[in-house]
Every structure is written in structure tokens, then in C-alpha cells.
Amino acid sequence: MAIRISLFLLFCAIIGLMLPSLTWADDDLCKPFEEDFEQIEEYFEKSLWSIAEQRIKEIIDAEPDCFRARVDLGRVYYYREQDDKALNYFQELTELNPRDHQPHHYRGLIYYDQDRTLQALVEFHLAYEADPTIGSGYFFKTISPILAESDQFLQSNIDSLVSKIPDISSVYLSHGLFYYYEERYDEALEKFRKVVSKNRDHAGGWYFAGRSYESIGEETSARNAYNQAIALDDEYSVAYFHRGMQKIRAGNWNRGCRDLRTADSLEHPGAPMAIQNFCRHRFY
């Protein structure tokens, strides 16, 4: 039980989902219960599953549309290692709210625990599909280890993925990230462009396309890609950050620093230092 909790917390810490500061589609509905959720987290830490379950169900009774509470109920089943019950329940949640990545993420963790790696890969990719902005950290800590051998990516594993996983944009995103971190930017760009050709609303695809364009010196295309990512997700901190840095390199200090300050307000970790280095003695 302790191993399962530790594994989950490790995943969350790496991908920026450390509880309780998760991103929920129903924040407003859940806000009245913030203190309750803090108490529930303490129950989880102390393995007080029954008490946590009772409190979660009380929240659901009071506000059935608070999705956070429903996910927390699934977590109770997950921590109790009631895997079949958890899998079925999280599947119901994916149908209830297809745009939330967490039910897929938990299903992936369960399959991963069970050494059902292909099913885990499918769920992790579906999680990425539901929330394309969760970043390459998610790729590295959930998807890439399953595709790796001796800490090296295997091209054959990634290529074979396409025939085994539904034809969704996040599979091409995995391909693109593999090439990108191998510094094969032209090949990466080809995959990221395929992501957005399949799904024009894929903010993550546009962002990584922008990074690839920058890497091969196509600055105008990079800026346009960042613009698309931000238009789709106005809280995409890393896109603001890199667009801001690109503008500063081009001599547009005013707009560049504005983007960096937006990235800072969205808690991008690199923004404070960039602001100190490039914007500290400028007034906008």
C-alpha cells in the first residue's frame, strides 16, 4: 500500500500535479469544499480510507458535479488496491468528463502496477490526449520509461506503437518528443505538424512545433506556433515564456517582458530569473 502511494506521488511531483493543487474543470463547484479536500488528503496520508470515503461521498451528495470529489473516490479504490473496482470506476469518469486526464492517468498507473504495459501506454497517451499541456515531463515519467531499454529510447518500440495504440495525436506527440530530445528537429517538426493536422486544437502540438521551428531557425513560424498554443490555452505558461524569450532576442523588449511576466504570474519556474536578467531595469 505504501509503495502504491509513493509511486503515485512520484508521478505527480514530476508532472506538476502534486496534490492538492490539481487543475480541475469544475474549480468553482468544488471551491466551497477546499478545507474538506485538505482534510481528505490528510486521511489519505494516514491510510484512513473509510473516513476519507465517507467525507468524499458527503461532498458528492452536496454537489454531484464536483468532479474532484469523484476522482478522489476513485483514489480510495486505487489506494485500497481494489483494482477492478477502480478501473471500472475511472472508466465511468472518462465517459462523464472526457476532457479530464486524471481517470486515464490512474488507469494507466494500475495497469503499470500489473505489468500490463501496453494497456498502461494506451491510458497514458489518452491522458496526454485529454490534456495536451501537461508537458514533456509527463512523457518522460510515464511513457518513455516503457519505451526505453537501458535508459535509451528504442526507435523500434516507438514506431511499433502506432500499430498498437489508437490513431490519436498524442502518439505522434511521443514520436516528436523522441526526435526533439535527440536533437533531430526536422523529424520532430514533421511529427508535431502531424499532431496539429489531426487536431488543430492541440495546444501541446503547437507549442512543441514552435520549439522545433526555433531550433532550426524559422523564427516567424515559431512565433506563429506559440501564438496558436496560447490562443488555445491562455494559461500555457511555458509557451508564454518561450515566446517572450524569442521576442527579447529579436529586440522586442516591451512585448517580450510582458510575456515573461505573464509566465511568472502562471508560476513558470524560469520566469523570475529571466525577468531579473532581461526586464529588471526596464519599465513597461
Q: What is the pLDDT of residues 210-248, one digit of tens each?
A: 999 999 999 999 999 999 999 999 999 999 999 999 999
Residue 124 lies in a domain: no
43 and 91 in a common domain? yes
Query: 191 and 180 in contact (C-beta within 8 Å)?
Result: no
75 and 28 in a common domain? yes
pLDDT at site 249:
94
Residue 180 lies in domain: 132-217
- Boundary-marking domain end, from 186, 217, 248: 217
Backbone phi, psi, residue 65, to 5°: -95, 10
| CATH number of the domain bearing residue 70 | 1.25.40.10
Q: How far apart are CA 223 and CA 200, in angstroms?
A: 16
pLDDT at site 150:
56
264 and 157 in a common domain? no
Q: In which band, very low, low, confident or very high, does the pLDDT at 140 lie, cut at 50, 70 and 90?
A: confident
199 and 91 in a common domain? no
Residue 223 lies in a domain: no
52 and 4 in a common domain? yes
172 and 74 in a common domain? no
- Boundary-marking domain end, from 217, 242, 257: 217
Residue 226 lies in a domain: no
Structural domain total, the chain: 3
Burial 191-207 (b: 16+ CB within 10 A, else e): bbbbbbeebeebbbbbb
Residue 15 lies in a domain: yes
pLDDT digits (tens, 9 = 90+) for 176-204: 998 998 899 999 999 999 999 998 999 99
